Structure 1
């Protein structure tokens, strides 16, 4: 009987810790970075060409323009992404667009709200793309989970940046 009480106390403590995470951590933030042996103009243009996204984010099934503004900022797109066999529809809004310097994207994917801030810098013909990402959720339970998946989110975005590097460096060699 004493063992059962100990197990119940441990389980209760773990559950409380899990739900306290949502009170303490409101937003999960991380960075990813890649250096590409191409000039910043070429990297920026290729990165912001919607048709190219499927070349480095293989989970994208479709990409549709909902509203494209002349200055790009404020443009809205609809994406359908395959996530482990399940299709997820999300919207992407361009929050900031500074040619050859920065693009900030906001994604609304059901219970996940994600802001990706991409910074482009060039030094001696090598362009560095730095992603500063933040995730949050309208759902309290999802918000409690995000901090525990920070490494997974970061690894996935790093993979996408590595895929982009491979795509753009190989594309011009062909």
Structure 2
């Protein structure tokens, strides 16, 4: 399953990238985030890996993030692998004429095992979750609104 989404953030790209690239900010815009732990390589470097843990509903999910390309402020791409789910994500950031930032994300999901059924019957759930992260990041950057205690 592949899809693309975009959102305009009413802040200069430099400010958006500073918040996007700071791992301490993840808890403020990714609901359910518990922790990130580097497991291989230098944090943020291409080829490096991190263990991410989230609470989604009553379940805790661990996934491995592998940085594919870190060419910020232009592009950041990574894979995210959890049990039964593989996600390749490309994030691109560009300036608008109004000195705002256009954030475009491309996602490709592949499923195995039980998650194949979930991906087949509920593809909208993945798109909705991606969009929610984008909206929450926009609110964090523009209004300093955090999802940390929600």
TM-score range, shorter chain: 0.7 to 0.9
1:68/1:38 CA distance change after superposition, 3 Å: farther
Aligned length: 144
Q: Does 1:66 align with 2:66?
A: no
| CA displacement at 1:154 relative to structure 2 | 0.7
In the other structure, the counterpart of 1:149 is 122
CA–CA separation in structure 2 for the residues paired with 1:65 and 1:159: 25
| Deviant stretches of 4+, over 6 Å | none
| CA displacement at 1:49 relative to structure 2 | 1.0
| CA displacement at 1:45 relative to structure 2 | 2.1
In the other structure, the counterpart of 1:21 is none
CA–CA separation in structure 2 for the residues paired with 1:81 and 1:70: 19
Cα contact 2:44–2:67 (8 A) shared by 1: no
Q: Does 1:107 align with 2:80?
A: yes
**Matches for 1:30-41 after TM superposition, within 5 Å:** 30-41=3-14
Q: Does 1:75 align with 2:48?
A: yes
Residue among 125, 131, 134 paired with 2:105: 131
**Larger helix percent:** 1
In the other structure, the counterpart of 2:148 is none
Unmatched segments (≥5 aa) in structure 2:
146-150
In the other structure, the counterpart of 2:2 is 29
CA–CA separation in structure 2 for the residues paired with 1:44 and 1:149: 32
Secondary structure (helix, strand or coil) at the match of 1:74 reads coil
Q: CA RMSD in A?
A: 1.8
Unmatched segments (≥5 aa) in structure 1:
1-27
In the other structure, the counterpart of 1:49 is 22
| CA displacement at 1:140 relative to structure 2 | 4.8
1:169/1:133 CA distance change after superposition, 3 Å: same
C-alpha deviations, 1:104-151, integer Å up to 9, x for none? 0100111100111111111131101111001002x2553344133221
Cα contact 2:54–2:62 (8 A) shared by 1: yes
TM-score by length of 2: 0.88
